[in-house]
Every structure is written in structure tokens, then in C-alpha cells.
Amino acid sequence: MSKIFWQTTVIPELYRLEFKLLNAEDCCHDFHHGTIQLNPAGSYTKITQVAFFNFAGASVWVKCPWYGGMKSTLTKMAKWEQKAASRYKPKFVVAAVIH
């Protein structure tokens, strides 16, 4: 298994993170890149992630309705991220307000 190398660019004034898989070919991807955008949603923050990727079997993975498919994988990842973030919530400081 190849090591995975990501390039991330944070654009604070836009509340945006851009990411790109630098060694896509080593990971059997044709390409993989995208963005994570934060937006206000009432008293919450809406987080939108958009990813563009292609690898052998990608269309099967996206449509796979059972465990191991895209939906179950991303749901599991999102739950893990929410749990991890909630552990730090007491330490959060409001650094900026999006208008």
C-alpha cells in the first residue's frame, strides 16, 4: 500500500479548504481533489465537502448500497469526525463570525 500525500490549502477569508491527492497514480487514482466549505446555518455551521475522483471501480463503489460502499464509508467517517470534534467543543473559541 502506498503512502498517501495530500496538499491542503486553507483560505481563511473564505472559510474554505482545498485538497488534492498529490500521488494519485501511486494510490491507483486517476485524480482526487476537492473542497471543504463552511457556511453559517442559524446557530450551527454547515459543512459542505465536494470531491472529484476517479479510480478503477469508482462507479461501483459509489452505487454500492451495502457496507463498504460510498454511503456507508462516508457516513462512518462523518460520525467519527463529529465525535472527534465534539471532544474539543469545550475548547472552541469563536474566532470570527460569518455574515
pLDDT tens, residue by residue, 67-91: 989 899 888 988 888 888 777 766 6
pLDDT of residue 56: 92
pLDDT tens, residue by residue, 4-43: 999 999 998 999 999 999 999 998 999 999 999 988 888 8
One-letter amino acid identity for 37? Q
Spatial CB neighbours of 15, under 8 Å, sequence gap ≥ 6: 37, 38, 39, 98
Torsion angle defined by CA atoms of residues 57, 34, 93 and 86, in that order, rounded to the nearest 10 degrees: -10
Q: Which of 58, 64, 60 is nearest to 32 (CA)?
A: 58
Cβ(32)–Cβ(51) below 8 Å: yes
